[in-house]
Amino acid sequence: KNFDENDIRDLADFIIHSDMEMKGTGLEQYQVKLNDVFYRQILFDMFIGGTDTSRNTLTWAIMLMANHPEVQKK
Looking at residue 29, what is its pLDDT? 65
Are 39 and 63 contained in the same domain?
yes
Are 14 and 41 contained in the same domain?
no
User: What is the distance between the alpha carbons of residues 53 and 37, in angstroms, rounded to a whole number?
Assistant: 24
Are 12 and 27 contained in the same domain?
yes
Are 22 and 5 contained in the same domain?
yes
Entry pTM? 0.42
- At 63, is the pLDDT very low, low, confident or very high (cuts 50, 70, 90)? very high
User: Number of folded domains in the chain?
Assistant: 2
Range of the domain at 70: 35-74
Are 13 and 47 contained in the same domain?
no
Are 10 and 45 contained in the same domain?
no
- Mean pLDDT confidence for 31-45: 76
- At 59, is the pLDDT very low, low, confident or very high (cuts 50, 70, 90)? very high
